[in-house]
Amino acid sequence: MAKKNNNTVSEKPRVSKRQKRIKFVIYLMILSMILSSILAGAVMFL
């Protein structure tokens, strides 16, 4: 039982390529949303 727990702990830091890509895409989407909202606000003032 203890050995199984150790395996799960050691596997946790290793992130799969697909998971990394999904995380990157999510960050990209959030960044683009923030950027577009800032641009929309700037257009209103101009």
What are the tens digits of pLDDT across the range 20-46?
A: 999 999 999 999 999 999 999 999 888
pLDDT higher at 11 or 16: 16
Geometric angle at alpha carbon 41, from 39 and 45, rounded to 5°: 115
**Average confidence (pLDDT) over 3-31:** 80
Choice between 35 and 15, residue whose per-residue pLDDT is larger = 35
Measured in degrees and rounded to the nearest 5, phi and psi for residue 14 equal: -75, 110
- Write out the two tokens for 22: 């999904």
The pTM score is 0.57
